[in-house]
A and B are shown apart, each in its own frame.
Chain A
Amino acid sequence: MLDIIEHAAGDVTVLQLTGRLVGEDGDAPLGDLVDRLLEQNRMKLVLDLALVTYIDSAGLGLLVSRYVRFRRRGGDVRLVSLTERSRHLMAITNLVTVFSTFESQADAVRSFTAS
């Protein structure tokens, strides 16, 4: 199960995720929430993964699919505080070359302002 805390920093939305980011129905709330942000035209998204204890391929797939949708509409999804395990999985799948990653939420939010 994945718990999600949402807050806004200006026009950037930050989602703090806690728990397992997995397939089945485990990632449905995140997918729904991110789709709602797209509908609201909130195109700058930061996902904080520090407290994500497990990611499977479906969870990674969800990140990828939403990244593609955001980028298509001129937005971006940026990642914060990947655990060592998450970083390893991103490297294996070559997704480290796709996502911008940051050490803190503040850095990620600031990166949107700078870009």
Chain B
Amino acid sequence: MTATAAARHVLVVDDDRAFRHAVTALLQKIGYATAQAGDGLDALRQLSDGRIDLVLLDIGLPGMSGLDVLAEARRVPAPPRIVIITSDDTPGALMASFRGQADRFVRKPITPQRVVEVVKEVLAVSAATTLPIEVVSATPAWVELVAPCSLDVADRIQEFVMNLDADVPEDTRESIGQAFRELLTNAIEWGGRLDPARHVRISCLRTQRMRLYRIADPGEGFDVGTLPHAAVSNSPADPLEHARVREGLGLRPGGLGLLLSRALVDEIIYNEKRNEVVLVKYLD
């Protein structure tokens, strides 16, 4: 049994018996306690005793839908973490899951490795510290969110936003997702000072030929000329220059985010104060 799996209870809710059995067997094998439900009512009954830490939840259930289960599960005294695992790949299902504060949205088919990875990722953050994300707009063309400045929300937002781009070639989607996550974590860490009482505002605009993401942080902005601890300031002959500066300043390892982002998307534009950034990726 792994240390992370010890004593954690996972409920698998799916009307596909074979899928339920396969996932529970997989999780039991690495030490999780598991339970199963084939419909929403059974799932809610099992959630009522407060022992479940995580629910892997299908949307297309007989009778009560998974989205209804998600809403009800948020009202139980000790709400579990919830990962939607579904073959319903419509933007409506995705955004309804996000509005319902699901922790992750994962499309089927899903590999066993990804199941384990998602379970570990989500359970690594305690339910008590999970912070709500406000959904300001949730149309497929314009998603706008307000999120607390906590790094825990970055993976959650990235996964949801990238699911909106399921129709984009994988390489392009990965590049957009990585650049977006790098700039978002910069905004949360440097602009928001990792203070969950402060917020970042994120807009994702999707046109036929372009993806545009805007991230506004609550910080004072920065001067690009004063970033010797960032790899964008390195001389071409010395890719490690920033690392030595960071070590001297006692900063954690890093400093490569802006350099990476610039190479992964087509345009990165900052406002004058540099506390708002827009990244653009053209699709043709």
Contact = CB atoms under 8 A, between A and B. Distances in A.
User: By DSSP majority rule, is chain A's interface helix, strand, loop, or mixed?
Assistant: helix
Contacts of B264: 92
A65 B117 contact: no
Contacts of B121: 1, 20
A58 B117 contact: no
A104 interface: no
Determine the interface band of chain B, counting residues with CB < 8 A from chain A.
Answer: 20 to 34
A57 interface: yes
A56 B181 contact: yes
Contacts of A38: none
Nearest to A2: B120
A39 interface: no
B231 A58 contact: no
A74 B8 CA distance: 44
Interface in B138-174: 151-152, 154, 174
Interface string A17-43: 001100111010001000000000000
Contact of B4 (A1, A53, A98): A1
A4 interface: no
Contacts of B210: none
Contacts of A64: 240, 243, 253, 256
B243 A57 contact: no
A66 B246 CA distance: 12
Interface residues of A, number: 28
Given A56-B181, A57-B182, A65-B246, A97 B239 contact: yes
Contacts of B120: 1, 19
Given A1-B117, A57-B256, A57-B260, A24 B152 contact: yes
A92 B178 contact: no
Of listed A23, A67, A85, residue having the most chain B CB within 10 A: A23
B88 interface: no
Interface of A: 1, 19-20, 23-25, 27, 31, 53, 56-58, 60-62, 64-68, 85, 89, 92-95, 97-98
Interface of B: 4, 113, 117, 120-121, 124, 151-152, 154, 174, 178, 181-182, 185, 231, 234, 236, 239-240, 243-244, 246-247, 252-257, 259-260, 263-264
Given A57-B254, A60-B260, A92-B259, 13 more contacts: A1-B120, A20-B121, A23-B185, A56-B178, A57-B182, A58-B252, A61-B252, A64-B253, A65-B247, A68-B244, A93-B239, A98-B239, A98-B240
